[in-house]
Chain A
C-alpha cells in the first residue's frame, strides 16, 4: 500500500505530490529531501523516518529515474519488490506518455500525470499499469517538451542523401509521445536490447561475461490484434544455435511453437480486439559466462614510468567486430592520468581520464598515449592504475547472436506501413584490468 507518492527534481523541488489516504503532513516532502541529502555518497533506496511523532512510521522508498526522485511512502511490511517495480513502471509510463523523462516534461505534463496517477492508484492500492487499459481513461493531451533544435536536423542527410543514421529507425520515434497524432501512420518496432557485463583480466583472458537481453515490442497502429515475432535459431552468420540460459516471457505470449521453431505469438490481453498501441517486453533472457563471439573490444595497455617520475600510459583499443559496424559512444576511464592527447579529459575529482571516441569502425584500432604527472609516484602507485571501464552502444549487434527472423501480423490486419527491427547492445559494465 502506498500512502503518498511524489516526484522531486534533483534539486528537491516537488514536481508532483499526491496523498492517497489523507494521512500526511505537508512537510513529508521536505523530510524526505533532508533525509536523502543528508546521506553520504550514493544513498540506498530505502530511507526511513521514525522520530518526529507527527510521522508515526513513515517509510520512504525511492528510485532515481531521469534525474528525478520517484518517492513512495509506505508501511514497514510493504513489499519492496512491489513498490520498486511499481515506481519503475510508473516512470516508464510517464516516459511513454510524455515522450521523455525530465524535470521539464514532468512539469509540462503534470495534469496528464495526475490523471495517470488517479487511474493507476486508488486509495494507495495499485489498480492497473497496463498501457492499453489506461489509455481508455486518459484524456489530456501530452505536451512535447522537446524544443526545436538544430541537432535534430543533423540526422537528415545533406541534399536528401541517405545517411547511415537514417537507415536505422529514427530514435526519436520511440521517444515520441504515445498519443500525439499517431492516427495516420502505423508503425511497429521490435527492439532487441542487450546489456553486457564483462570483466577481462590483465592477461586478456575473459573472466566473466554476462548478457541480459530483452525483446520489446512497440506498436503504434490504428488496430492490431495479433502478431508473431520469432527469434532465430541463429544459423545466419554465427554458426552455432543461439544459446540462452534463462528466458521468461510476458504473460500474453503463447509458446506453442517456441520449443520447436522459436516462435513467440503475442495475443492482445482480454479479447480487446482493437487497441492502438502496445508496449510490451515480450521476452527477457540471459546468458552467463559463455559468449558465442569474442568480446567486442580488446585493449592492449602498456604502463611505464619514465625517468622524471611521469607515468606513461599507452592504450591501444581494437574493435573486433566485423567491419561496417560502428560504435556510437565510447568512454574509457582510467585512473590518474593527465595531458590530453586525442579527445580526452582529465576528471580530477574522480582521478580518471575519460577518453571519448565518437565512433569506432569494426576491425580497426585506435591508440592513445597519456603522460601523467603524478605527485609522489612510487612503484606501488602502479597498482592503483586501472581498471579501464568501457561504455558503449553497439547498434545492429547482439552479443548473444539472437536475431529476429520474421515478424508477421495476423493476416486480417492491414500491414503496417513501417516495420522496424532494431538491435542494440549496451555496456552494463565492461571493465578491463590493467
Chain B
C-alpha cells in the first residue's frame, strides 16, 4: 500500500531518532520507535532507518527492545552487514539475568534469517538448550529448527539431535512438544522424528500436562507409531479414549485421526471410534463460531460416508438457523438429504420446504435440489412440494424446480406423468438458460404427455434469433427433433424452420453442426433417427440413495482432519459420483447425451444388451434356459455370508471335491470388458435390477478385483441359496485357468470361443472368474443363474465402454 508523504515521515523519524534529547528520555525514545514500527506496519518503507534502530536496540526498556527487534527482523535481509552490529547486543542480552530478555534475544537472533550469521547464533542456542528457564529452552529448541532450514543440505549435528531427543524428557510440556516439532523439521529427509515404543509411552503419559495445542501435536506425531502387539494397541486406545470425546474439537479430531491410523486393520474398532466422536462433533456443529460449525459439518459428511446412519437420531440438529450463512445452510441440507428415512421424511420435507422461499437464491436452489434428491425415494411427496413451488412464479425458483424435475425423471421415470402435467405454463417464468434447457429436455423426451409442447417449442423457435445461449439452441434442436418423432403432424413445419435457420444463419459452429447432423439423420429415415434419439430416457441405477453401500473408512481416513473436506469441490465430486452423469455436468450436457444416445443404437443392435429399465423379468425372459425367478429375501448380512461361504469351503475340503447332495460348488469364466472399471454403485445397481445382492467390493481398477454377492432362486423344485464371487486376478491368473477350463468344459454356458486362447485383452476384454456355491444343489438353477449373471456383465461392459 503506497503511503502518501512516506519519505517526509521517514526523514522526520530519522531526525527524531538521532536527536540526543529524545534518546535521553526513555518514554519519548520509545514513542519514536513505536512510530517507526507503526509506519512499517502501514506499509511505509522505513528501511533507511536501520542504523538508527540498531542503536535504539541498546536499551533497558523491554518494550522498546521488542519493537526494535520486530523492525530488525523485517529488514535484516536488506542490510546483512549492519545486522552484524545487532548480534553483539543480542548476544549480550542472552546473558541477561532476566529470562524474558534472554528468550527474547534468542528468538530474534534466530529470526533474523541471515545465513551469514549462523556461526554467531549456534553458541547461544546451545547454551539456551540448557537454560534454567523453560521459556528460554522453548525458544532455543525451535531456534535449531530455524537454523537448519536456513542452510538446507548442511550436515546435521548429531550432538544437537541427541540433545533434542533428551529434551523430550524436559519438565516443561511446551519444551517437549517443541522438541517434537524441531526434530521433525531437522530430520525431515529421514522421515521426521523417530517414534519408538519408549518415546510413545513417554508422550502418552505426559499428554495430560500439555494444553490443547500440545496434545494435538503429540497425537499427530504418534500417528507414525505402529504398536508391536494387539495388547499394546488396545492399551494405547484405552488411554486415549477420554480425549476422543474431548470438548475441544481440535483434540477430538486429532485423536480420531490417530485412532483411524492405528486401527487401519481393525474396521470394527474404527467404526466404534467414529460413533464415539459423533457427540463432540455435534456439539461443534452448535459452536458459536460459524467457521467451526462449517468445519464440523464437513467432517460429519465425511464420517457419514462410512456410517450413513451416524446422525440419524439427531436430524433436527441440522435444521438451519435463519441467520446462518448460506454455505452452512447448504451443507446442512446435504446432510439432511442423507438422513431421510420413513419416520422423519415428512418433517424434513416440511423443513426444506421452508427454505425454498429463502431470500438468498443459492439457499433456495439448494433446498429445491435437496427435495429433488429425496424425491428419488419418496417421489410423490416431493413432487407435490415441487409442483406447489411452481405456483409462486418466481423465476429462480421455477428454474431450480424444472431442473430438479428433469433430474428426478431421469432417475425415476414413473414420476414423468406428474412432471408433465406440472410443466404447463411454466415457460413464461423461466429466465435463465439452465432452466430453459431443462424444460426443453423434458419437452423433447416426454413431449407426448404435454399437450402444449409444440406450442411452447414454437415460441422458442420464433425467438431463436435473439437467443444468446448456444446450449439452449442445441437443446432446442434435440427437443424439436424428438418431439417430431412422437408428434410429427404438429411439429414438422417448425422443425423445418428451425433447421433452416440453424444451418443457414447460425454462426455458432456447434449448433450448426448439430443441425446438420440431424438434417442428415432425418434424410436417412425416420427409423434411424428414432434409434439414435430415443435411446435412453432414464437411468434408474443412479437412484440408489437408500441402501447405498458404505464406503470403507480407509477411503477417507487420510483426509480426515485436513483441509480436504472443507474444499469446495470435495462434496461436488461426491454428489456427482452418485448423481446422474448427464445432469450433474450441465455445460457439456448436450454433447454427452448425443454421443450416449448414438451409442445406444449400437447397444440395441447387440442382442444381449437390453437391460430394460423397470422390468426385472425382461433380462431373464430372453434367455434360452428355463425361466428363473430370483429374489433378495431373506436378506443375508455380510457376517452371515462370510460364515456360509467358509462353511461351504470346509465342507468341500472334507469331501474332497466330491459333490454332496445338498451342496454344489462351481467355477465359471465370463468374458467381459470394462466391468472392472465400473464403479461399485453402478455394478450394484445393475445387479439389484435382476435381484442379485452384492455385499462387498474391491475398489475399481485394483487387482485382484473381487465382488461378493448372493441371491435366492425360487421355485423348481425348491428354493435355494446361491453365494458367489467374481474374481479377476490379472494376467497371471489366466494360465491355470486355461487348464481348468478343459475339465469344466461341459459346464460352459456362455463361451462361444475357447477360453484358453483368449489371453488377448484388446479393447479391455478380460475374463472374470465366477465361483458359485449353492445350497441345496440345483444345477439347472445354477445354469440359469449364470446366464443371467453373464447378461448383466455383458450389458455393463457394452454400455458406454
**Binary per-residue interface labels of chain A (195-208) against chain B in the complex, 1 for a CB within 8 Å, 0 otherwise:** 10101000000011
Closest to B564 in A: A76
The answer to whether B563 and A78 have CB atoms under 8 Å apart is yes
| Complex interface: chain A residues within 8 A of B247 (CB) | 248-249, 284
Residues in B with CB closer than 8 Å to A289 are 316
Residues of B within 8 A of A123 (CB): 142, 145-146, 181
> A46–B567 contact, CB under 8 A?
yes
Contact B41 A210 (CB under 8 A): no
Q: Which of B146, B284, B563 neighbours the largest number of chain A CB atoms within 10 Å of its CB?
A: B563
Q: Are A81 and B359 in contact (CB under 8 A)?
A: no
| Cβ A122 vs Cβ B107 within 8 A | yes
The smallest C-beta distance from A94 to any residue of chain B, in angstroms, reads: 15
Q: Are A45 and B286 also in contact (CB < 8 A) when A118-B66, A118-B107, A431-B322 are?
A: no
Minimal beta-carbon separation of A191 from chain B (angstroms): 14
Selected interface stretch from B249-257, B546-554, B750-758: B249-257
* Residues from chain B with Cβ under 8 Å of A129 in the complex: 211, 213
Q: Which residue of B107, B246, B319, B393 has the most chain A CB atoms within 10 A of its CB atom?
A: B319
Determine if B279 is an interface residue (Cβ-Cβ < 8 Å): yes
Provide the bound-state CA to CA distance between A44 and B295, in Å. 10
Is A48 located at the chain interface by the 8 A CB criterion?
A: yes
By a CB distance below 8 angstroms, the chain A residues around B100 are 136-137
CB contact list, B112-164 vs A, under 8 A: 113, 135, 138-139, 142, 145-146, 149
Q: Are A42 and B291 in contact (CB under 8 A)?
A: no
- A122 — nearest CB in chain B belongs to which residue? B142
Chain A minimum-CB-distance residue to B560:
A79
A118 to B100, CA, bound (A): 12
Complex Cα spacing A352 to B359, Å: 9
Q: In the assembled complex, which residues on chain A have CB atoms less than 8 Å from the CB atom of B178?
A: 122, 125, 127
Cβ–Cβ contact A44 & B34, under 8 A: no
Q: Does A350 contact B (CB under 8 A)?
A: yes
Across the interface, do A88 and B211 meet the contact criterion of CB distance under 8 Å?
Answer: no
CB of B248 within 8 A of chain A? Answer: yes
User: Is A389 positioned at the interface, with any CB of B under 8 Å from its CB?
Assistant: yes
A128 within 8 A of B: yes
Task: Check B67–A111 contact: CB distance below 8 A.
Answer: yes
Set of chain A residues within 8 Å of B286, measured between Cβ atoms: 197, 210, 212, 286, 428
- Are A139 and B317 in touch, CB under 8 angstroms? no
Interface 9-mer from A9-17, A151-159, A417-425: A9-17
Tell me the interface secondary structure of chain B in the complex. Answer: helix
Interface string of A17-56 (1 = CB under 8 A from B): 1000110000000000000000011111110100000000
B174 part of interface (Cβ distance < 8 Å): yes
Known contacts A61-B563, A126-B213, A378-B393; decide if A85 and B319 are in contact (CB<8 Å).
Answer: no
Q: Is A288 an interface residue (CB 8 A)?
A: yes
Contact, CB under 8 Å: A42 / B322: no
B568's nearest neighbour on chain A, judged by CB, is A44
Segment of B324-332, B476-484, B499-507, B618-626 in the binding face: B324-332
Bound-state CA distance A114–B73 (Å) is 13
Residues of chain B contacted by A161 (CB below 8 angstroms): none
B289 touches A381 (CB 8 A): no
Cβ contact within 8 Å between B323 and A384: no
For B359, list chain A residues within 8 Å (CB). Answer: 335, 350-352
Query: A387 near B66 (CB under 8 angstroms)?
Result: no
Is A59 in contact with chain B by the CB < 8 A criterion? yes
Q: How far is the CA of A347 from the CA of B608 in the complex (A)?
A: 63
- Residues of chain A within 8 A of B181, CB atoms compared: 123, 125
| C-alpha spacing A125/B211, complex, angstroms | 13
Residue of A nearest to B360 (CB): A41
Q: Is A333 an interface residue (CB 8 A)?
A: yes
Q: Is B492 an interface residue (CB 8 A)?
A: no
Flag if A41 contacts B362 (CB, 8 Å): yes
Chain A residues with CB under 8 A of B279: 246
Indicate if B259 sits at the interface (CB-CB under 8 A).
no
With both chains docked as a complex, state the minimum distance between the C-beta of B426 and any C-beta of chain A, in angstroms.
Answer: 13
| Pick from A40, A130, A384, A429: contact of B324, CB under 8 Å | A429
CA distance A307 to B314 in the complex (A): 45
Of A46, A82, A249, the contact of B254 (CB 8 Å cutoff): A82
On whether A428 and B562 interact (CB within 8 A), knowing A13-B1, A208-B316, the answer reads no
Contacts of B296 in A (CB 8 A): 81
B354 at the interface (CB under 8 A from A): yes
Contact of B107 with A81 in the complex, beta carbons under 8 Å: no
C-alpha gap A40/B139 in the complex (Å): 43
Known: A139-B62, A383-B388. Is A429-B327 also a contact (CB below 8 A)? no
Most A Cβ at <10 Å: residue of B43, B139, B354: B354
Q: Which chain A positions have C-beta within 8 A of B63?
A: 111, 115, 139-140
Residue of B nearest to A197 (CB): B321
Interface on A for B, CB 8 Å cutoff?
Answer: 13-17, 21-22, 40-46, 48, 59, 61-64, 74, 76-82, 84-88, 110-111, 114-115, 118, 122-123, 125-130, 136-137, 139-140, 195, 197, 199, 207-208, 210, 212, 246, 248-249, 251, 284, 286, 288-289, 333, 335, 350-352, 376, 378, 380-381, 383-384, 386-387, 389, 391, 428-429, 431, 433
Identify 21 residue pairs between A and B in the complex whose beta-carbon atoms are under 8 Å apart, listed by A's number: A14-B41, A16-B41, A42-B327, A43-B327, A44-B327, A62-B291, A63-B289, A81-B253, A81-B292, A82-B213, A115-B63, A122-B107, A127-B138, A140-B66, A248-B246, A249-B247, A352-B359, A378-B393, A380-B388, A387-B354, A429-B320
What 9 A-B pairs come out closest when comparing CB atoms?
A429-B321, A248-B247, A42-B325, A380-B391, A126-B213, A45-B291, A82-B250, A389-B322, A46-B566
